[in-house]
């Protein structure tokens, strides 16, 4: 049924097949405009699903944009959350909000997160982004409809690569077991995922046979033939006693010649010129400049708000704003890739990727040395099984490195880490990439802010969070090849300052003390680093404890504190989270009397360990203590450095807090 006025029980608009085709073309254009304005996102999959989206929201589902919470509405669960721009476009064209609002895609404090957030946008049925979970939500919703004798249907949109997640098949069993004929699954079978063709990453085909074997009705259709799509849904409505799976044969990037069937467009967006070229191919006349101006006007308001919230000092201490104190930027994940690339000759080493190999640089293991690929295994999107496969390799004497985004490595596979890896004390190395809010516009589902809580609590697990790409390479080299047993390595996505050198003192399990010595041409040269066990007090006013890229922010805060207020700071780089160097904290508490922790994590990841060390350390005098971090909330979409500012994690915020603490301690 098409769009409804639920209060009057009347159809608002009825679309013909030809009108749907035209709407789908326009939706593709608006989708690309929003991606172009965002500067990041997923083009390929949003284009492949767009004909299905147009059919669903404009003709098939029973819904009322003016009454989004109408209980009799049909539900559409977007399990494939990275295709959020297609969802937003479908909602806009249905009338939930103006089309121009989609131009706020992935922008800070907007409703159009990189992955859907139901708490911010009416029409979104479920927040999603961690693949493989949507079908389970749909099963629960469909069971409720049966139990309460409701007539609504539940639709669940998934990708073909997503079928590699084990939870999908648990939900498939449940749906068949409960005979949920009010549940219609939709698979966007475009054959591609992040790292390449699905059949090459982890073959899931033939999906039709698999779902039939699991007790489903299966309908296969051309996902770009509007008449076939509509007929497939009509047929689905007539089927009883079993859930229905519509497998839509699609082309990734459909409608734009230079995007079609190219894996690289999974996480890539078009430039202005490419977007205009796409408009021409789609035969849609949109004023791109006007749309981009709309997006930019919103962005300017965001920037004003951020700037207003930033603590101010006598000059701008932001990265590379001064004539001196210059810093080179590089993502910490590059150090992880460099380590694996250089150690490829070690026959013990096996590298397992979870469809993120290029993104997190685990691919560095074999890219320049193809002969190593026999010791590189793509696990598809199967974090839980992949963790246990790594354990199986370790059981046989191998060094197995399993890498994926930190939020999935530490959260989705937590039970596997606990029981299979740590309980057995297997020599498994977990690479948790994309830690912190600086992941950026992908938003909350992809920003690991709880992983210290999860991994540091596990017996036998060792945890590192290096400050920069150089320290990442060096610590990974030590922890992967010189230390036996489980290791979790957390590192960031965004390019961050390089603050160490290959000769910087570094020892696993022992913190580093960093001291600001005066402005230099290069930022890193303005600091002196010493192993904590060798450090002699210099009468500092405060100690700031940090790790990961926040270490550089703590260093910049020390610069501000010295130049603005004459405050001397002891920076403690706690690059090893477990085992935790509590002796260094106790020493700092006794000698400085004021301690502040700064972390790109939920408050307490580092802070709780520091607080515990102080309380149990018999300090013998009062210690002023406070913590900076994410304040018990989920992340947001936005540019990486915007988010660091918005969450109060910058050197400016650290310096302001430190100054207040010192002032209070002296009263």
Strand, helix or coil for residue 330: strand
Q: What is the structure's pLDDT at 187?
A: 98
What are the helix (H) ranges across 150-244?
166-177, 198-202, 207-213, 226-238
Q: What is the structure's pLDDT at 103?
A: 98
Cβ neighbours of residue 595 closer than 8 Å, sequence gap 6 or more: 542, 543, 544, 545, 585, 588, 589, 610, 614, 623, 624, 625
**What DSSP state is assigned to residue 1?**
-
Residue pair 610/588 in contact (Cβ under 8 Å)? The answer is: no
Q: What is the structure's pLDDT at 1?
A: 60
β pairing state of 576-578 and 462-464: antiparallel
Q: Which candidate, 96, 106, 154, 110, places its Cα nearest to that of 129? A: 106
Strand, helix or coil for residue 543: strand
Q: How far apart are CA 153 and CA 138, in angstroms?
A: 10
Strand, helix or coil for residue 220: strand
* CATH topology for the 14-289 domain: Rossmann fold (3.40.50)
Rg (CA), the chain: 26
* The domains spanning 14-289 and 510-666 adopt the same CATH topology: yes
Q: How far apart are CA 622 and CA 620, in angstroms?
A: 7
DSSP string, 560-581: HHHHHH---EEEEE--EEETT-
Helix (H) or strand (E) holding 292: helix 288-309
Strand, helix or coil for residue 648: coil
For residue 542, count other CB atoms closer than 10 A to its CB: 25
Q: What is the structure's pLDDT at 375?
A: 84
Q: How far apart are CA 271 and CA 213, in angstroms?
A: 44
Q: How far apart are CA 382 and CA 165, in angstroms?
A: 5
Interhelix angle 226-238/17-38, nearest 10 degrees = 110
Structure tokens at 189: 């079978």
Structure tokens at 154: 């539940």
Residue pair 487/429 in contact (Cβ under 8 Å)? The answer is: yes
Q: How far apart are CA 364 and CA 299, in angstroms?
A: 36
The domains of the chain are located at 14-289, 330-382+398-411+426-497, 510-666
Burial of 170 (C-beta count, 10 Å sphere; 0-12/13-18/19+): middle
Q: Could you tell me the CA-to-CA distances from 207 to 66, 438, 615 in Å, in that order? A: 37, 37, 57
Helix (H) or strand (E) holding 250: none
Q: Which candidate, 649, 324, 331, places its Cα nearest to that of 498? A: 331
Q: How far apart are CA 228 and CA 74, in angstroms?
A: 21
Cβ neighbours of residue 300 closer than 8 Å, sequence gap 6 or more: none
Strand, helix or coil for residue 637: coil
For residue 12, count other CB atoms closer than 10 A to its CB: 15
Structure tokens at 334: 């590059």
Residue pair 92/30 in contact (Cβ under 8 Å)? The answer is: yes
Strands, E, within 116-259: which ranges?
A: 154-159, 183-189, 192-193, 196-197, 217-222, 244-249
The CATH number of 510-666 is which of 3.40.50.300, 3.30.360.10, 3.40.50.920, 1.20.140.10? 3.40.50.920
Q: Could you tell me the CA-to-CA distances from 100 to 97, 148, 177, 295 in Å, in that order? A: 9, 38, 43, 8
Residue pair 629/547 in contact (Cβ under 8 Å)? The answer is: no
Q: Which long-range contacts (CB under 8 A, 24 or more apart) does 205-212 make?
A: 205/160, 207/160, 207/163, 207/245, 207/247, 208/245, 208/247, 211/172, 211/185, 211/245, 211/247
CATH architecture classification, 330-382+398-411+426-497: 3-Layer(aba) Sandwich (3.40)
- Residue identified by tokens 């596997």 is 416
Residue pair 204/198 in contact (Cβ under 8 Å)? The answer is: yes
End-to-end CA distance of the chain: 70
Question: Taking the CA of residue 380 as centre, how many other CA atoms within 13 Å lie in the half-sphere pointing to its CB?
Answer: 21
- Residue identified by tokens 């004929």 is 181
pLDDT, averaged per 10 consecutive residues of the chain (667 residues), comes to 88 94 98 98 97 98 97 98 98 98 98 97 97 98 98 98 97 98 98 93 97 98 98 98 98 97 93 98 97 98 97 97 97 94 89 88 79 81 95 96 96 97 98 96 96 98 98 97 97 95 98 98 98 98 98 98 98 98 98 98 98 96 97 97 97 98 83
Q: What is the structure's pLDDT at 261?
A: 96
**What DSSP state is assigned to residue 589?**
H
Q: How far apart are CA 377 and CA 397, in angstroms?
A: 17
DSSP string, 10-65: EES----HHHHHHHHHHHHHHHHHHHHHHT-S-HHHHHHTHHHHHHIIIIIS---T
């Amino acid at each position: 049924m098409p769009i409804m006025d639920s209060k009057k029980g009347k159809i608002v608009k009825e679309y013909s097949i030809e009108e749907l085709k035209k709407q789908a073309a326009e939706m593709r254009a608006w989708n690309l405009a929003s991606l172009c304005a965002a500067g990041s996102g997923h083009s390929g999959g949003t284009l492949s699903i767009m004909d299905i989206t147009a059919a669903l929201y404009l003709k098939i589902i029973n819904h009322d944009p003016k009454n989004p919470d109408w209980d009799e509405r049909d539900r559409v669960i977007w399990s494939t959350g990275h295709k959020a721009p297609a969802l937003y476009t479908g909602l806009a064209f249905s009338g939930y909000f103006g089309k121009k609002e989609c131009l706020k895609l992935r922008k800070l404090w907007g409703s159009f997160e990189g992955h859907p957030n139901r708490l911010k946008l009416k029409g979104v049925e479920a927040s999603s982004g961690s693949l493989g979970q949507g079908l389970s939500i749909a099963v629960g919703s469909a069971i409720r409809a049966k139990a309460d004798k409701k007539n609504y249907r539940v639709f669940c949109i998934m990708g073909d690569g997503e079928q590699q997640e084990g939870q999908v098949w648990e939900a498939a069993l449940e749906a068949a077991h409960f005979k949920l004929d009010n549940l219609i699954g939709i698979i966007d079978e475009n054959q591609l995922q992040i790292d390449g063709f699905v059949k090459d990453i982890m073959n899931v085909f033939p999906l039709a046979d698999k779902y039939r074997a699991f007790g489903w009705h299966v309908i296969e259709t051309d996902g770009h033939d509007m008449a076939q799509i509509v007929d497939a849904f009509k047929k689905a409505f007539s089927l009883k006693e079993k859930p229905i799976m519509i497998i839509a044969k699609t082309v990734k990037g459909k409608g734009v010649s230079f995007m079609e069937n190219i894996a690289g467009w999974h996480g890539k967006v078009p430039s202005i010129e490419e977007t205009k070229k796409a408009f021409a191919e789609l035969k849609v006349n949109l004023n791109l400049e006007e749309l981009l101006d709309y997006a930019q006007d919103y962005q300017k308001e965001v920037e004003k708000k951020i700037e207003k919230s930033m603590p101010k000092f006598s000059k701008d201490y932001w990265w590379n704003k001064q004539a001196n104190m210059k810093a080179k930027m590089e993502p910490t994940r590059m150090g992880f890739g460099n380590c694996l690339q250089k150690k490829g000759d070690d026959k013990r080493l096996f590298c397992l990727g979870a469809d993120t190999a290029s993104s997190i640089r685990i691919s560095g293991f074999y890219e320049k040395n193809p002969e190593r690929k026999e010791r590189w295994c793509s696990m598809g999107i199967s974090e839980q099984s992949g963790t246990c496969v790594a354990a199986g390799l370790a059981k046989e004497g191998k060094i197995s490195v399993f890498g994926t985004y930190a939020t999935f490595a530490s959260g989705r596979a937590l039970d596997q880490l606990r029981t299979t890896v740590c309980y057995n004390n297997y020599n498994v190395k977990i690479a948790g990439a994309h830690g912190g809010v600086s992941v950026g516009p992908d938003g909350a589902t992809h920003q690991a802010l709880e992983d210290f809580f999860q991994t540091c609590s596990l017996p036998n697990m060792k945890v590192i969070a290096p400050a920069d790409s150089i320290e990442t390479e060096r610590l990974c080299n030590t922890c992967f090849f010189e230390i036996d047993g489980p290791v979790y390595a957390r590192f960031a996505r965004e390019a961050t300052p390089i603050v160490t050198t290959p000769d910087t003192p570094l020892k696993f399990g022992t913190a580093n003390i960093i001291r600001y010595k005066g402005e230099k041409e290069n930022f890193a040269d303005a600091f002196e680093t010493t192993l904590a066990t060798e450090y002699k007090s210099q009468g500092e006013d405060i100690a700031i404890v940090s790790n990961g890229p926040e270490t550089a922010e703590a260093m910049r805060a020390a610069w501000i504190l010295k130049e603005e207020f004459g405050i001397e700071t002891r920076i403690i780089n706690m690059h090893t989270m477990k085992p935790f160097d509590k002796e260094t904290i106790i020493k700092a508490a006794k000698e400085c009397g004021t301690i502040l922790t700064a972390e790109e994590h939920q408050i307490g990841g580092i802070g709780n360990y520091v607080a515990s060390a102080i309380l149990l350390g018999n300090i013998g005098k009062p210690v002023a203590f406070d913590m900076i971090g994410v304040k018990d909330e989920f992340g947001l979409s936005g540019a990486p450095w915007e988010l660091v500012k918005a969450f109060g994690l910058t050197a400016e915020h650290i310096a302001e807090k430190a100054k207040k603490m010192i002032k209070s301690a002296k009263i």
